[in-house]
Amino acid sequence: MGDDGLMHAQREETPVPAHPYPRVTSFRARHSTLSTAQQQTWDRLWPELGMQARDGDGRPAGELDTEAWFGRSAPLVLEIGCGAGVSTLAMAIEEPDVDVIAVEVYRRGLGQLLSAVDREGLTNVRLIRGDGVDVLEHLLTSDQLTGVRVYFPDPWPKARHHKRRLLQPATVALIADRLRRGGVLHAATDHAGYAEQIAEVGDAEPLLRRIGADEDVPISVHRPTTNFEAKAHRAGSAITEFLWTKSTPAAEGIRP
């Protein structure tokens, strides 16, 4: 993850705290180039609608004042790995009363989403460039989110790379902590092996309870079919979706 080529003034170094949720970075390096129009939109809107998860010295950003950022108090959804934002955009249009923070490592995807947000005149989407775990750990607090969406995370199919997968027990526990009671974790994958891991990890998290798509939830769980998903269907890959809700305090066996 870079800093968009910006130069930062030198200042006294302070150590970055050790990551309490140890993991191998779950994204791959990729070239990110914006078109001229996208760059112009980026220059105009990023200072208002976007931010970096870490500064140029690698320090994580501080806790977000989301009400100040969005200019209102509303249910808050975090989408980790939004790509070009096809699902983000469609679901934000469908739910204007829900605020969405879309997190993505790659600048090109964020540039495409930012241009679409501008074109549609949306006011309920904000963007963060960086690692979703950084956002969960450093920028958000307990019981803050109404929903977390993780659609088609990198499956890292080789066995030696499974440790790089995003949805590990520590990360799911962190997601559960950041969800408010009744909040929803919605995940989807087209990789059978990763689906097994996601199911095992999600079901093992004591704060979460698996639910069906027909249950009453506070946010939409109806995704648009993206080009990526259509390609997976054509290749014969099954799409597996998961929904968990954060249990109520009275639920048996959950930790305080």
Residue 15: per-residue pLDDT: 37
- Checking phi first, is residue 182 left (phi over 0); if not, alpha (psi -120 to 50) or beta? left
In a domain, 28, yes or no: no
In a domain, 187, yes or no: yes
- 82 contacts 117 by C-beta, under 8 angstroms: no
Domain count, the chain: 1
Residue 34: per-residue pLDDT: 93
Q: Three-state DSSP class for 16?
A: coil
In a domain, 21, yes or no: no
The catalytic residue among 3, 134, 154, 203 is 154
Type of residue at 112: Q
Q: Which domain holds residue 62?
A: 40-246
Regions of the chain where pLDDT drops below 70: 1-32, 248-256
In a domain, 16, yes or no: no
Residue 154 known to be catalytic: yes
pTM listed for this prediction: 0.85
- 240 contacts 197 by C-beta, under 8 angstroms: no
Residue 22: per-residue pLDDT: 47
Separation between Cα atoms, residue 212 and residue 65, nearest integer Å: 32
Residue 231: per-residue pLDDT: 84
What CATH number does residue 48 fall under?
3.40.50.150
In a domain, 22, yes or no: no
In a domain, 2, yes or no: no
